[in-house]
Structure 1
Amino acid sequence: MPNLFDAIPDRLDDERFETLVTGEAVRVERIVSRGHTSPTSGWYDQAWDEWVIVLKGEGEVVFEDGEAVRLRPGDHLQIPAHRRHRVAWTDPERDTIWLAVHYPA
């Protein structure tokens, strides 16, 4: 049986994105970070809504308007379409496991 906390490599050079399930209008993915952040040169600007929850570890999402949201296990956040954002920090000492649900705006 698959488990969200399994199959994480010891060495994680890049943030790991894995699609778990897709449907006609939804995509669910597991994201594993270990000190990874978004590129500093730009913002995510998605045409769809996104809901994220941190299952393990910690991360911080920063929005273009300056709002910063620190997420710990169990914390979740809804990001509306075209709200420009980036991941500014994840715990470098342990895995941060996110579950992201992408769906139409």
Structure 2
Amino acid sequence: MTGNIFDALPAEVSNEIFEDIVRTSHVRIERIISQGHSSPEVGWYDQDENEWVVVLEGAGSILFEDGRQVVLNKGDYLDIPAHCKHKVLWTEKEGVTIWLAVFYGHQHSPADS
């Protein structure tokens, strides 16, 4: 399979777009297209998988339940452990923000054995 992450970008993004690029039993790679979007006021993402995310275009901010905020600009990436509650505070309103998210299983440490 081949493709281009910047292909088929909509001119306007009224609803955030989530598209699987690869999905297996061990990993999921997703393209997310945002434009001025944020997570709902109430609730947090609390995922069973780890999430590694990179901003390919635009910018956005992630808020963690402990109050930490991380601003991601083009090229910045972040690894979010499973069950680390977080939400998107904002994405750019002018132009799109393109995220590439890789969801992968829990990493076992020697202490887990």
Q: What's the Cα RMSD here?
A: 0.9
Q: Which has the larger radius of gyration?
A: 2
Matched to 1:32, the amino acid is I
Deviation at 1:24, TM superposition (A): 2.0
TM-score, normalised to structure 2, is 0.90
Equivalent position of 2:78 in the other structure: 77
Deviation at 1:91, TM superposition (A): 0.3
- The runs of 4+ residues in structure 1 deviating greater than 3 Å are none
Deviation at 1:59, TM superposition (A): 0.3
Task: Give the Cα separation in 1 of the matches to 2:12 and 2:33.
Answer: 12
- Aligned-pair identity in percent equals 53
Task: Give the Cα separation in 2 of the matches to 1:12 and 1:52.
Answer: 20
Deviation at 1:6, TM superposition (A): 1.6
Task: Give the Cα separation in 2 of the matches to 1:44 and 1:78.
Answer: 14
TM-score, normalised to structure 1, is 0.96
Task: Give the Cα separation in 2 of the matches to 1:59 and 1:10.
Answer: 19
**Residue by residue, what CA displacement relative to the aligned partner does 1:52-72 show, whole Å, maximum 9, x if unpaired?**
000000000000100000001
Unaligned stretches of 5+ residues in structure 2: 107-113
* 1:91 correspondence with 2:92: yes
Unaligned stretches of 5+ residues in structure 1: none
- How many residue pairs get aligned? The number is 105
* 1:49 correspondence with 2:59: no
**Residue by residue, what CA displacement relative to the aligned partner does 1:3-44 show, whole Å, maximum 9, x if unpaired?**
111211112111000000112210000000000111111100
